[in-house]
Structure 1
């Protein structure tokens, strides 16, 4: 028989608790048992910094309930850790607390920020190839078993899973989000918790509660099993929705519906969503019609992802088009390290106001100048656009009008602008694209300041230039 203070409800070992304004409350409940009946028996609890044994929250007396039960809320525990939660049972008011009867403890608890991982395989993590990305204390993962643990790859492995709905068919690999969490922890100086809910190959319809929504409901269930608030969502999805033009065409509105539903269900109307614009796929569909449709689908989904950041508040995006692959469609382990770092920089700039240059250049306007050139303007550009001095034919841009494709004769970089001289005058409506299709060809310029490539865009209408 156990004696002393027993914890029956509280954080798990390794759990990260979401901080609010730099602190969080820790709720504990339990029972107590003594050798003999003792009216004076009282349960006490404290929080200790594991590194140094220093008190973070000094001993506090719990509320004594009926039938040998107790409860306590340890208030305003500061963001940080790792912490150890200790309890004890004082049988005699006069005894010093260091000699009180033993009590249960909870180890390796942190107060920090929680991010939910959602989407398909490149979010679940399928990177292959050796890379140095070891576990780190203070970066913890809620595994599919429902247990908090030290975060280590692969994130979406299914040992003792509680929810087979997002079980992978094969063992996953390297995730971009350990790298993400490490950068945040280094800059914020408190722990980061990751909640894995992604599934390789999943359609947006599985995440949209107004469609099938089964992965959406699983995500909600997993979140609510461990917290009532999160810091943000890490979203990388869209490849499967390129398969049909109907899905690609409706992607933006369906994504918007999912975001609105999640914010409502979590009661976080401004919940940040950190997204990744699709990279590429390298395969041969063997059918020209299917390949053309797939090319158009990939371009449409990338454009929808870009548009989402402009029409939905607190949705942000990083590019991935320069990422290497470890197979036909999955980002390689080294590429995941870069994508994790990029996502962290974006978060530090947009969510934490750290003054870091983390937002990629996005097309703001496309105009036909009086000179006959088409000018593209991008923002933010922290320094200047760089094309590596390649020939205009080696760039990833396309311009088309009512007649068809217009060959580009030359180009000029002017800070945050690119001007194109064309081989002929546009006829009718004119559209510009960058990085079209399943496997975009050509060089995508970068911002010399942030070292990020432009966000890809598809068939943006060119406007007349008005001074």
Structure 2
């Protein structure tokens, strides 16, 4: 809930408080658990189009003006901003984090305060104190003005690092950023709820840039596996407003997934939030049951069973020392397994990717329990 503190002056011992001399009213003295919103445009919220996502009592937003307000879209609008560092140059739109906060509030009973620090187009180096760190320092100033501590961070970033050079080092730089944020915010276990990147539908794709998107998505998957307190949810199936920004419908989906991750990992709720994740890739040259070489994939964290909808599209890519063997077909081969038939045997060391391109296949396998697609992966070794 929000609290209003009323100040007044009683004169001459008059017991009738309605006649005291009025003073300031301080609104939103208490706004509940604070969650820092950080990252680039899909964290700031650039969704365009109609949506029913109204404000709700008990969910507040620290606006760029330095004032707490009932949370409503757009979140990162810069009217009377105190923070030039994360001032948007375009008008933002719909954010995933009102839906995120609504689900948290409903399931925990706690009011939620959102602290907006994101900026469209921002690269990781702006958030990493070991590099440029401009937005990191701005974030620290905003959080300290709000009381100096937070329950956790909701993070959507990476598109601006999907280039050769930046993509390869993304994972290590992200790890160092998390460690420093935790140190400076005084919480060695500060949770980070993250999103694996959605697609970019621009037509100027190249093999080199496709691989950079795959590398960043892989670092995001591995970060959630290897860094305690970091979770990740997929966004690859979320609809877009334009070639790179999630639509309001996509934001509602992402906000719900992030909330489920937080409810389970931070608030201890019995909620299945993990997307299916690659666990193994086994090669069978004999091709049992299909009469051709096959790669059998197994997945962890499948809550129900894997299923397919829509046409069988080229989700998977195999590479070996002779190039890319053509895939004849892939199919669900068990509750948590996928079989990929190849048109030739593998030669030498081999790897498999899934949904690594900037704009990969639209029809993914799904988990029947959550209807979430598996996390994308890149260069997973085939054994």
Q: Which TM-score applies when normalising by structure 2?
A: 0.92
Partner SS state of residue 60, structure 2: strand
Residue 417 of structure 1: how far off its partner (Å): 1.6
Determine the structure 2 residue equivalent to 1:215.
Answer: 135
Alignment of 1:240-259 (within 5 A): 240-242=160-162, 244-259=163-178
Determine the structure 2 residue equivalent to 1:382.
Answer: 303
Alpha-carbon distance between aligned partners in 2 of 1:143 and 1:136, rounded to the nearest angstrom: 16
Alpha-carbon distance between aligned partners in 2 of 1:237 and 1:119, rounded to the nearest angstrom: 5
Provide closer, same or farther for how the CA distance between residues 170 and 414 of structure 1 changes in structure 2, counting only shifts above 3 A.
same
Partner SS state of residue 446, structure 1: strand
Task: Indicate conservation of the 8 Å contact 1:127/1:332, yes or no.
Answer: yes
Determine the structure 1 residue equivalent to 2:209.
Answer: 294
Alpha-carbon distance between aligned partners in 2 of 1:359 and 1:276, rounded to the nearest angstrom: 12
Alpha-carbon distance between aligned partners in 2 of 1:113 and 1:380, rounded to the nearest angstrom: 29
Task: Indicate conservation of the 8 Å contact 1:114/1:194, yes or no.
Answer: yes
Partner SS state of residue 165, structure 1: helix
Partner SS state of residue 217, structure 2: helix
Deviations 1:366-393 (A, max 9, x none): 22247543222212111101122744xx
> Is 1:396 the equivalent of 2:342?
no
> Is 1:143 the equivalent of 2:63?
yes
Task: Indicate conservation of the 8 Å contact 2:128/2:173, yes or no.
Answer: yes
Question: 133, 149, 154: which is aligned to 1:234?
Answer: 154
Q: Which runs of 5+ in 2 are unaligned?
A: 288-293
Residue 223 of structure 1: how far off its partner (Å): 0.6
Residue 137 of structure 1: how far off its partner (Å): 1.4
Q: Which TM-score applies when normalising by structure 1?
A: 0.76
Deviations 1:376-420 (A, max 9, x none): 2212111101122744xx240111211111223343331112222
> Is 1:342 the equivalent of 2:262?
no
Moved more, 420-429 or 125-134: 420-429
Tell which has more relative contact order, 1 or 2 (C-alpha 8 A, sep 6+): 2
Alpha-carbon distance between aligned partners in 1 of 2:344 and 2:302, rounded to the nearest angstrom: 30
Residue 238 of structure 1: how far off its partner (Å): 0.6
Partner SS state of residue 249, structure 1: coil
Corresponding residue pairs, total: 375
Alpha-carbon distance between aligned partners in 2 of 1:185 and 1:92, rounded to the nearest angstrom: 45
| Higher Rg of the two aligned structures | 1
Deviations 1:135-182 (A, max 9, x none): 111111111111111111111111111111111111111111111111
Alpha-carbon distance between aligned partners in 1 of 2:52 and 2:188, rounded to the nearest angstrom: 38
Determine the structure 1 residue equivalent to 2:188.
Answer: 269
> Is 1:189 the equivalent of 2:109?
yes
Alpha-carbon distance between aligned partners in 2 of 1:363 and 1:447, rounded to the nearest angstrom: 13
Determine the structure 1 residue equivalent to 2:373.
Answer: 453
Alpha-carbon distance between aligned partners in 1 of 2:113 and 2:334, rounded to the nearest angstrom: 43
Determine the structure 1 residue equivalent to 2:272.
Answer: 357
Residue 193 of structure 1: how far off its partner (Å): 0.6
Alignment of 1:55-454 (within 5 A): 81-86=1-6, 104=23, 105-242=25-162, 244-285=163-204, 291-369=206-284, 371-372=286-287, 373-388=294-309, 390-391=311-312, 394-410=313-329, 411-454=331-374
Alpha-carbon distance between aligned partners in 1 of 2:119 and 2:2, rounded to the nearest angstrom: 30
Residue 89 of structure 1: how far off its partner (Å): 6.1
User: Aligned-residue CA RMSD in angstroms?
Assistant: 2.1
Task: Indicate conservation of the 8 Å contact 1:120/1:200, yes or no.
Answer: yes
Alpha-carbon distance between aligned partners in 1 of 2:125 and 2:150, rounded to the nearest angstrom: 23
Residue 314 of structure 1: how far off its partner (Å): 0.8
More strand by share: 1
Alpha-carbon distance between aligned partners in 1 of 2:74 and 2:310, rounded to the nearest angstrom: 40
Alpha-carbon distance between aligned partners in 1 of 2:348 and 2:340, rounded to the nearest angstrom: 18
Moved more, 345-354 or 369-378: 369-378
Moved more, 409-418 or 211-220: 409-418
